[in-house]
Amino acid sequence: MPTAPPLNPIQLAHAYAVCRGIARRAAKNFYFSFLVLPKEKRNAICAVYAFMRHADDLSDDASLPYDERRQKLAQWLQNAQQVFAGTISDDPVLYALADAQQRFSIPVDLFDQLVSGTSMDLEPESYSQFQTFEQLYRYCYYVASVVGLVCIRIFGYRDARAESLAERLGIAFQLTNVIRDVKEDAALGRVYIPQEDLARFNVEIKPGVPTPVHASELLEFEAQRAREFYAAATDLLPLIDDDSRPALWALVTIYRQLLEKIAEGGYDVFTKRVKLSFGEKLSVLAKAWFARIFVRPLTA
């Protein structure tokens, strides 16, 4: 791949500031973990998030027909590919992303996969009728595991086992999102829970329909799956560079607490949106900062 010319330090600082602003506004859970990273890694993560956020916004833009959304996503990816190849962009997100990609040697094909995952939400046959968990796993891989594979390049690791563990952890995060967002997704015509699981628990999920009688049993089944994938965090944490472990620990802890808060509420995700309070997130952040400053070990 051609090497891009050096980026202007002033423009680069501005570009990263834009990305941090996007992450601060939109990354409700991720941003708290970003704060614990060293500046260079925090900037890179925010650039990646801003790139993903724009792709997600294009995918979810209900004012546009699906074909136009696909075209805009394809153009966004093409623009990114051009900056990776050495073209200077006037888009601050892509300007920062080009620097992050080179600085941390992030494989370009991972960004291709990120956008491919986002595009899956524009293909009704890809998500509205998952028949099996294997099909849901494939979707989760593209929209979440690939994010993990990008993040660990920024975190730093030397053991190749980290890659398969990051993949599994991404599945855990996305399953948590699937459980939390059942109502909102149904309103968009999206039912990510596999049909085989819906049939097993005799649950039919439709927008505007009252909470299914057996939904709590179904969601507990999915939550137990997620917990099994969260177990990967225990092995992944020691493989990540020391200065990144508190951030990964914070991210895992926030998502795990969210899953357990849903469970404690009897899986009532149909009448309210479950989320961690600012205080709960701040408590996790404080522990992560303490561990980073005093180099204390953390276990997931």
Domain 123-300: state its class.
mainly alpha
What CA–CA distances, in Å, run from 64 to 58, 68, 75, 233?
A: 9, 6, 15, 39
pLDDT category at 191 given cuts 50, 70, 90 is confident
From CA 26, how far away is CA 35, in angstroms rounded?
Answer: 14
pLDDT category at 88 given cuts 50, 70, 90 is confident
pLDDT of residue 82: 95
For 154-177, what is the mean pLDDT?
96
Is there a common fold for 1-105 and 123-300? yes
Among candidate residues 133, 146, 142, 152, the one with its CA nearest the CA of residue 235: 152
pLDDT of residue 130: 87
Domains of the chain by residue range: 1-105, 123-300
Topology of domain 1-105, CATH: Farnesyl Diphosphate Synthase (1.10.600)
Per residue in 198-240, pLDDT tens? 999 999 887 666 666 679 999 999 999 999 999 999 999 999 9
Lowest mean pLDDT among 186-190, 237-241, 260-264: 186-190
